[in-house]
């Protein structure tokens, strides 16, 4: 089976696993938010395998995968392994020893800080795929790309399991990072 056929089959299997295992939690982490819990999907061996392969769909030449804290760590490591490249954990503020590169940004329900090490890892000039579980408003993906750019890397795409289409994440990414940056979601809802 050709690589494209394998990826398309993985997309179908991943979407089935999401439909079967994902759960919605109302009013979490605060009233009015519907949290899409993908933990049961990732705990299913077939679901995890299919999602990891599906996330690699159309990502092009990648030197490094950046997984966003925290579920993006799980996905980023697995996607990096499949692509045979390294992985960088993009951490929440205060989790890394100094010195760090950091960026503050807005979430749909507050503000946050993301960090990566400023020493010990040279990502200058690397092509980086950003991986996370959910694309909501797009602020975290844009902040991650800004953070990686400060360290000299170039984001070549964003891959997520689920896009919450009604929250405008793609438009935020296009406005902040350009219309030509590929954004790949296994499923949109």
Angle at 29 between CA 48 and CA 44, to 5 degrees: 15
For the stretch 104-149, pLDDT in tens is: 998 766 789 999 999 999 999 999 999 999 998 999 999 999 999 9
Tokens representing 163?
Answer: 């896009």
Q: Please report, in tens digits, the pLDDT of each residue of the chain (189 residues total).
A: 556 888 889 999 999 999 999 999 999 988 988 888 999 999 999 999 999 999 998 788 999 999 999 999 999 999 999 999 999 999 999 999 999 999 999 876 678 999 999 999 999 999 999 999 999 899 999 999 999 999 999 999 999 999 999 989 999 999 999 999 999 999 997
Determine the Cα–Cα distance for residues 73 and 68; give it in Å rounded to an integer: 6
Determine the Cα–Cα distance for residues 30 and 43; give it in Å rounded to an integer: 25
**For the chain, first and last CA: distance in Å?**
30
Catalytic residues: 71, 108
The pLDDT value recorded for residue 120 is 93
């Amino acid at each position: 089976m050709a690589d494209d056929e394998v990826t398309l089959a993985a997309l179908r299997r991943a979407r089935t696993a999401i439909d079967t295992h994902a759960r919605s939690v109302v009013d979490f982490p605060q009233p009015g938010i519907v949290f899409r819990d993908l933990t049961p999907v990732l705990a299913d061996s077939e679901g995890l395998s299919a999602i990891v392969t599906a996330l690699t769909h159309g990502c092009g030449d990648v030197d490094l995968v950046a997984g966003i804290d925290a579920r993006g760590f799980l996905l980023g490591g697995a996607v990096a392994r499949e692509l045979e490249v390294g992985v960088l954990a993009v951490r929440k503020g205060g989790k890394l020893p100094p010195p760090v590169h950091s960026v503050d940004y807005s979430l749909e329900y507050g503000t946050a800080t993301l960090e990566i090490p400023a020493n010990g890892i040279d990502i200058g000039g690397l092509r980086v795929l950003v991986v996370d579980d959910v694309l909501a408003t797009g602020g975290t993906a844009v902040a991650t790309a800004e953070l990686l750019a400060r360290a000299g890397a170039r984001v070549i795409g964003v891959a997520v399991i689920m896009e919450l289409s009604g929250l405008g994440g793609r438009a935020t990414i296009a406005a902040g990072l350009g219309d030509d940056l590929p954004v790949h979601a296994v499923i949109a809802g």
